[in-house]
Amino acid sequence: MKYFDYAATTPMDSEVLKIYQEVASQYWGNTSSLHNAGTKAEELLENCRNKLASLLNVSARGIYFTSGGTEANQLAITSLAFSQRHKGKHIIASMAEHSSVSSALDYLSDCGFEITKIPYLSNGQLDLAILKQSIQEDTILLTIGHVNGEIGSIQPLEEISRLIKDKNILLHSDCVQSFGKMDLKKICSFVDSISISSHKIYGPKGVGAVYIRPNIHVKGLFPHQSHEHGFRGGTVNTPGIAAFVAAAIQSNQNHWERVNQLRKFFTSKLKNELKGCITIYESETTSQLPHVIGLAINGHEGQWVMLECNRKGFCISTGSACRQGLQAPSKTMVAMGVTEEKQKEFIRISFGKETREEDITALVEALIEISKRTL
């Protein structure tokens, strides 16, 4: 199979896997235990926390390791909301947030919070005019994903932060798609919280982290939890965390020139071969990560195209992997105001370290053949 779904998950790097295995065999103690085995594991854990904090240029006191990006989003958003509810109960998010964010917001809605969701413009950027109009006296939190996972559009977090400056409103950002691909040091200087994940950057699954500015008083959703300073329960995944941080350290943000070339190669071949038969959801080059391409073969349902590609030996997707089993339309397409018919046609192609031009050529040939077939 030729893999074109790196935005969903990545294979584990071989060197990172070695670190995972080494830590699993030598640092297997519970980090909360007071004996030597526990102390040894706890020292490694704190070393990992410090290294990750250094990569983000933040205080290690604000780093909490989690079971992944989903838990990171859910814990951050709910904790921030409950910590600020004495000031108000209004929260703003985009319409295209990851399902883990939507899940946290639905929970908070059931708890009496008011949620406002902001659409995208046709270029995949958040509608800042509507955002500005939606801010209320009792708005306490904005949660805006940094990079959209379905078309790769980069949201203007710095501009958004300026809109709420001096308004006593917190800003959380789901940075799962941007971590390891963009330098987040500047982002961390003006947001209050971010969530990140391991398996998007060639690390193990089941590991992530959330950073919350240490001067914001938050506590876990459940009482009497002892792990991660009481922020979450469950024995810490020490080998997973060590491998996650190793993957983060070696993640190469400088390979985008190659990925940009691959994107241009792919889109130009598609446009030449399927002129008038495809829709590519592109933003300006500077506001879109190049490895994620959202598109549609006009008149062909995305689910069918994905299955046909799979039959021909190509792994693609119809959007976020956390939404696949729901048979729901792409949140991004809905947020952009795309018609219901076009929403159903959406597919996503995403590149990674192993993507080669010859594989892209083969995929284009498969898409051309698929486009000629009728449903």
Burial of 56 (0-12, 13-18, 19+ CB in 10 A): buried
Weakest mean pLDDT among 280-284, 307-311, 360-364: 280-284
Residue 120 has a pLDDT of: 97
Give the separation between CA 111 and CA 249, rounded to whole angstroms: 39
The CB-side HSE value for 74 (13 A sphere, CA atoms) comes to 16
Residue 42 has a pLDDT of: 87
Confidence of residue 62 (pLDDT cuts 50, 70, 90): very high
Q: Of the residues 48, 175, 315, 322, which is catalytic?
A: 322
* pLDDT score of 310 more than 90: yes
Q: What is the mean pLDDT of residues 43-66?
A: 96
Residue scoring higher pLDDT (176 or 273): 176
Weakest mean pLDDT among 124-133, 207-216, 244-253, 334-343: 244-253
* pLDDT score of 285 more than 80: no
Contact by Cβ (8 Å): 172, 188: no
Confidence of residue 64 (pLDDT cuts 50, 70, 90): very high
Beta bridge partners of 278: 297
Burial of 60 (0-12, 13-18, 19+ CB in 10 A): middle
**Full set of structural domains in the chain with CATH:** 2-9+253-371 (3.90.1150.10), 14-250 (3.40.640.10)
Give the separation between CA 45 and CA 224, rounded to whole angstroms: 21
Residue 243 has a pLDDT of: 98
Q: Percentage of residues in the chain with pLDDT exceeding 90?
A: 80
Mark whether 322 is an active-site residue. yes
Q: What is the pLDDT of residues 169-204, one digit of tens each?
A: 999 999 999 999 999 999 999 999 999 999 999 999
List the structure tokens of 360.
């892209």
Q: What is the mean pLDDT of residues 222-249?
A: 85
Confidence of residue 286 (pLDDT cuts 50, 70, 90): low
- The secondary element (H helix, E strand) that includes residue 295 is strand 292-297
Residue 256 has a pLDDT of: 72
Q: What is the mean pLDDT of residues 242-249?
A: 97
Residue 326 has a pLDDT of: 52
